[in-house]
Structure 1
Amino acid sequence: MKIVVTADTHLPKKSRGLPEELRIDLLKSDLIIHAGDFQTIEIYQQLKDFGELIAVAGNVDHPDLKELLPQKMIIEKKGLKIGLVHGDGAGKTTEKRALETFQHDDVGVIIFGHSHIPFSRYQNGIFLFNPGSPTDKRKLPYFSHGILTIGDSWKIEHKFYV
């Protein structure tokens, strides 16, 4: 199972559209996970056109999206429990807020966004993953998204591009 992991697309504000590198992976994916900040419901619909989409709302999403999408969710794919949250809030780092969101839940992976900074690290026995942003790299030299592959085991990695 190939899952494209993305967040912080911020369209149409930050770009004219989804980058080709992301589109190619979306076409080959079995599932799309988006950790919030689509910005508009049109971008949410556009991503749904590529296939099954699981998503949470982000802090800059349109009110229609905030009504449609939860702030937090847990999914299970092939035995892997995945927590999904945007990660915005006051105080602490984004990854600490994401970890605290699921402190009473049984998850193996937490996917979050908000900071636009790619992040992948085990913390307290849970793998934390921020895909970065495919459209708003801020001061980073590259755009990014993630690929989660689940078979007999699982791996998640970043895909970087300019």
Structure 2
Amino acid sequence: MSSVCLIDTSIFLNLLDVPNCNESKEKVTEDFKTFVEARCTFLLPMVTIVETGNHIAQNGDGNIRRTTAQRFVVAVKAAFSGDAPWQPVVFPDMKEILSWIEEFPDCAGRNKAPNKPEGTSFGDLSIIQEFDKACDRFHMSEVFIWSLDSDLQSYHQQPK
């Protein structure tokens, strides 16, 4: 089986060419082509959809926001209809989200890394949880989080 890639918000913003959030567009596009050629399976976590929508709504003038939001809608609808190179994950239910909420205070209180005096955000926690689910589901495949955030880049499982 090919590799399984969870798309982080930092990547989706560049793939959608969101103004002021697309500084790595060329590199991300190049990597995307490489992953497609390698027959990678792309998963779009719920948090990536939500956070990308937030960035779009808070960015630029109304015309830019609207135009960008229209591209976003096309990309997300295509994911749900099976017409995009990525597919949405099965969205978490209430019980699952409540378990994540229980973990959040510890994650927020612990520094991500010795040189990073910040905790893990709830958004990052949810994508890490999706990574863990994908590792269980696709244990015979390489699974990784594709992110520009070095903390999330460390989530990578080799096939068992």
Q: Is the TM value for this pair above 0.5?
A: no
- The structure number with the bigger radius of gyration is 2
Q: Name whichever structure is richer in helix by fraction.
A: 2
Q: Name whichever structure is richer in strand by fraction.
A: 1
- TM score, norm. by length of structure 2: 0.37
Higher-RCO chain (CA-CA 8 Å, sequence separation at least 6): 2
